[in-house]
Amino acid sequence: MTAMNQALTLPLAPPRLPWTRRALTWTRSQLFPSAGHSLLTLGVIALLCWCVPAALNWLVFDATFVGEHARDCNPAGACWLPITQRWNLFVYGFYPQAEQWRVTLSFVLAGSAFGLLFFKRLDRRLLLAYLALLPIVMWWLLKGGAGLPEVSSTRFAGMLVTVFLGTAGMIFALPLGILLALGRRSKLPVVRLLCVLYIELVRSVPVISLLFMASLMIQLFLPPGSAFDILLRVQLVLILFTAAYMAETLRGGLQNLPRGQYEAAQALGFGYWKTMGQIILPQVLKQSIAPLLTQFIGLFKETTLVMIVGVLDIVGIAMSTAVTPEWVEYGHEIYVFLAIYFFVICFALSRYARHLEQRMEQSRS
Amino acid sequence: MISKAKSDPALMVRIEQLNKWFGNAHVLKNISLNVEAGEKVVICGPSGSGKSTLIRCINQLEQHQQGTVEVLGEELNGSVKGLERIRRQVGMCFQHFNLFPHLTVLKNCTLAQTSNLGVPQDQAIERALSLLDKVKMRDHANKFPSQLSGGQQQRIAIARALCMQPKVMLFDEPTSALDPEMIAEVLEVMTSLAHEGMTMICVTHEMGFARKVADRIVFMDQGEIVEEAPPERFFSAPESPRTQRFLSQIINHGVHAQ
Ligand SMILES: Nc1ncnc2c1ncn2[C@@H]1O[C@H](COP(=O)(O)OP(=O)(O)OP(=O)(O)O)[C@@H](O)[C@H]1O
Ligand SMILES: [Mg+2]
């Protein structure tokens, strides 16, 4: 009787095999389940054996990290000197040396926003306030005024441009996208028409032409003499452009949410904004994490297009480095560095989205 | 004559000459229905007869085109602010529960209180827990709706509506999406609610429940109220042949009757 009770209450654990056996079964079932699979597995292993050591040798083991001139480079490996030597330029652009702490500080602020997003316990209002203020504070730090010496934005270049455009772009594009998506489904015909018109117009024009318009045409509409900072203009274009795409993503989510959710909220006396803010959008945003992330990453990479209208972002600095006589031979390294730079940031974003999704999964089961 | 009914303070819901169209389909035809405080009205009728549409006009989930709908002495028309105030006093339970899947059971029950009634958080939680207790779901307060059975979800939906301390409760086929063994637990909650004196308007095919609880049964067919009678007379001596046909069908198919 007691034995039977015990058997009933003890959870039945799956039989544990020794790890060697488990490794063997795993290998067999995952890597060599059939002749075709085995061939593929062997092929991939061969490919990796062939290119990984070569790549590592070139990138790290035979590479030159310290030195001053092109002649210090080991010709067998990569030469990272154009980057290390011009690191300051890559990061701060032409920002005056004495004021560079402001750039560093704004990087730290942007970075800590990313860090804060990982804290589950943080009060949501605090986080939102931080995010809302971040672009403004960053702009003030970078540009100066109100106590800080002013720095002309023609001196902005390099990572500083990418990070500023990326961060502020993401922070403003999402709320604007949400408003547009809601407007597109609004009951008010004028609001709906405006939103549809806006979204369709923006989506049917390449971002490059929008950037050109921003850099050339806006000047025509503004009163003469008033200068609207070029960096802010391209920032505006990036935000407006990304928001239109986000609006479409979110509209899909809004449409797919069962009508019963709206009805239950209405029946409980929620008004329009409360229904959206507390019932509908939390569900839609959660479902849309993956496509929104794609757009965030897209935005981040599109910041490189600002080069076309004369703003030197990190790609601009890289290209100008690649054509200086001293480093003209090291174009490969410079572009590999760019690839790594963008990969690291986009990969971090993608990991964060994954983390968010998992956190929401966990809170439901 | 309209003003006479209007001045009756015991009237919770007053519907006069209500007409509603979906496009060209005339789905509610000259409906008049009064519900007094504490009354339990069961609405039944064949599928597509307009039961849901009628009950949804009472909290304006559907807008009517003609006639008067008056709830708690206030006429419902286009004005939004008044509508939200009325909706907070009219609870509704749906066929498919419509709990908010991103919130815990407890939060489902407190959100509307704190956000729409301005009840302080701790008071809202207290009220929610006592009502969850009443529907025997207090132990599940921290779960999410997706972790619960249909019957449990429907009981929570009832508790959620009751948290607003409504004066009238509307039920739109609350048990018809449930497996038979879960129907009883939901009906039990509804019956005890009825015994406490709640005003209830209930679309259902549970004839056993109707016989036991209803003060009046309203039979609808093709957008009209065909017959309106207390349960004894409704079941024993239905007047209209349409009612007779409906009752014989429902009793022959047996599932819903007792
Ligand atoms: N949103 C809508 N748009 C168009 N027609 C509708 C809509 N909702 C309901 N109808 C139509 O109105 C009529 C009445 O529908 P209603 O849902 O009120 O019926 P019901 O009596 O609740 O039926 P059931 O027992 O199947 O729930 C039906 O003919 C239905 O097709
Ligand atoms: Mg119905």
User: N- to C-terminal Cα distance for chain A?
Assistant: 34
Residue A196 is part of which domain span?
83-364
Whole-angstrom distance, CA of residue A245 vs CA of residue B30? 48
Choose the weakest-confidence range: A66-70, B23-27, B97-101: A66-70
Tell me if residue B122 falls in helix, strand or coil.
helix
Q: Is residue B4 scored above 50 in pLDDT?
A: no
- Segment B218-228 shows an average pLDDT of 94
Q: Does residue A301 belong to the interface with chain B, where contact is any CB pair within 8 Å?
A: no
Whether A68 maps to a domain, the answer reads no
pLDDT tens, residue by residue, B138-186: 999 999 999 999 999 999 999 999 999 999 999 999 999 898 889 999 9
Protein residue with its CA nearest to atom 8 in ligand 1: B53
Smallest Cα distance from B232 to chain A, Å: 33
Whether A15 maps to a domain, the answer reads no
CB contact under 8 A, A271 and B80: yes
Smallest Cα distance from B145 to chain A, Å: 9
Whether A225 maps to a domain, the answer reads yes
CB contacts, 8 Å: B117 with chain A: 269
CB contact under 8 A, B102 and A271: no
pLDDT score, position A8: 55
Q: Is residue A119 scored above 70 in pLDDT?
A: yes
CB contacts, 8 Å: B96 with chain A: 258, 260
Whole-angstrom distance, CA of residue A79 vs CA of residue B229? 93
Whether A156 maps to a domain, the answer reads yes
Whether A31 maps to a domain, the answer reads no
pLDDT score, position A224: 64
Q: Which chain A residue shows the shortest CA-CA distance from B148?
A: A365
Model confidence, pTM: 0.84
CB contacts, 8 Å: A261 with chain B: 98, 100
- Segment B8-34 shows an average pLDDT of 90
User: Within 10 A of A24 (CB to CB), how many other CB atoms are there?
Assistant: 12
Nearest to A312 by CA among A163, A119, A159, A194: A159
Contact, B256 vs B207, CB < 8 A?
Answer: yes
Protein residue with its CA nearest to atom 1 in ligand 1: B22
- For ligand 1, pick from B19, B24, B27, B42 the residue to mutate: most ligand atoms within 8 Å of CB: B27
Protein residue with its CA nearest to atom 30 in ligand 1: B48
Q: Is residue A233 scored above 50 in pLDDT?
A: yes
E strand or H helix that includes residue A198:
helix A189-203
Contact, A22 vs A14, CB < 8 A?
Answer: no
Interface of B with A in 211-240 (CB under 8 A): none
Whether A53 maps to a domain, the answer reads no
Whole-angstrom distance, CA of residue B161 vs CA of residue B113? 10
Q: Please write down the HEC assignment for all residues of A40-75.
A: HHHHHHHHHHHHHHHHHHHHHHCCECCCCCHHHCCC
pLDDT score, position B3: 42
φ/ψ of residue A260, rounded to 5: -55, -30
pLDDT score, position A114: 79
Rounded (5°) CA angle B188-B193-B194: 100
Contact, B175 vs B186, CB < 8 A?
Answer: yes
Residue burial B133-145, b: 16+ Cβ < 10 Å; e: rest:
ebbebbebbebbb
Substitution target from B86, B98, B154 for chain A, most A beta carbons within 10 A? B98
pLDDT score, position A264: 95
CB contacts, 8 Å: B85 with chain A: 269
CB contacts, 8 Å: B161 with chain A: 267-268
**DSSP readout, B35-82?**
EETT-EEEEE-STTSSHHHHHHHHTTSS--SEEEEEETTEE-SS-HHH
Whole-angstrom distance, CA of residue A186 vs CA of residue A195? 9
- Please state the separation of Cα A108 from the chain's center in Å: 16
pLDDT tens, residue by residue, B38-93: 999 999 999 999 999 999 999 999 999 999 999 988 888 877 678 888 999 999 99
Cα(B227) to centroid of ligand 1, in Å? 20
Q: Is residue B193 scored above 50 in pLDDT?
A: yes
Confidence of residue A209 (pLDDT cuts 50, 70, 90): confident
Contact, B141 vs B106, CB < 8 A?
Answer: yes
Structural domain count, chain A: 1
Largest alpha-carbon pair distance within chain A?
A: 95
Length of chain A: 365
Q: Is residue B35 scored above 50 in pLDDT?
A: yes
pLDDT score, position A1: 46
Q: Which residue has the higher pLDDT, B171 or A126?
A: B171
Q: Is residue A301 scored above 90 in pLDDT?
A: no
Q: Which chain B residue shows the shortest CA-CA distance from A260?
A: B98
* Interface predicted TM-score (ipTM): 0.91
pLDDT score, position A98: 83
CB contacts, 8 Å: A274 with chain B: 115-116
Residue B22 Cβ contacting ligand 1 at under 6 Å: yes
Choose the weakest-confidence range: A9-13, A130-134, A157-161, B37-41: A9-13
How far is residue B97 from each of residues A263, B100, B172, B232, measured CA to CA in Å?
A: 11, 9, 10, 31
Tell me if residue B238 falls in helix, strand or coil.
coil
pLDDT score, position A355: 84
DSSP state of B230: -
Tell me if residue A308 falls in helix, strand or coil.
helix
Whether A50 maps to a domain, the answer reads no
Residue B63 Cβ contacting ligand 1 at under 6 Å: no
Whether A47 maps to a domain, the answer reads no
φ/ψ of residue B101, rounded to 5: -70, -20
Interface of B with A in 161-200 (CB under 8 A): 161, 164
Q: What share of chain A is helix, strand, coil (3-state, %, to 5)?
A: 75, 0, 20
If you average pLDDT over each of A73-77, A314-318, B33-37, which comes out highest?
B33-37
Residue B27 Cβ contacting ligand 1 at under 6 Å: yes
Query: Which residues are paired to B36 by β-bridges?
Result: B11
Q: Does residue A270 belong to the interface with chain B, where contact is any CB pair within 8 Å?
A: yes
E strand or H helix that includes residue A355:
helix A331-362
pLDDT score, position B253: 66
User: N- to C-terminal Cα distance for chain B?
Assistant: 41
Q: Does residue B90 belong to the interface with chain A, where contact is any CB pair within 8 Å?
A: yes
Whole-angstrom distance, CA of residue A268 vs CA of residue B160? 9
CB contact under 8 A, B87 and A264: no
pLDDT score, position B1: 38
We report the CATH number of the domain holding residue A87 as 1.10.3720.10
Ligand at shortest distance from the CA of B171 = 2
Residue burial A304-337, b: 16+ Cβ < 10 Å; e: rest:
bbbbebebbbbbbbbeebbeeeebeebeebbebb
Protein residue with its CA nearest to atom 31 in ligand 1: B48
Contact, A357 vs A290, CB < 8 A?
Answer: yes
Contact, A306 vs A239, CB < 8 A?
Answer: no
Confidence of residue A227 (pLDDT cuts 50, 70, 90): low
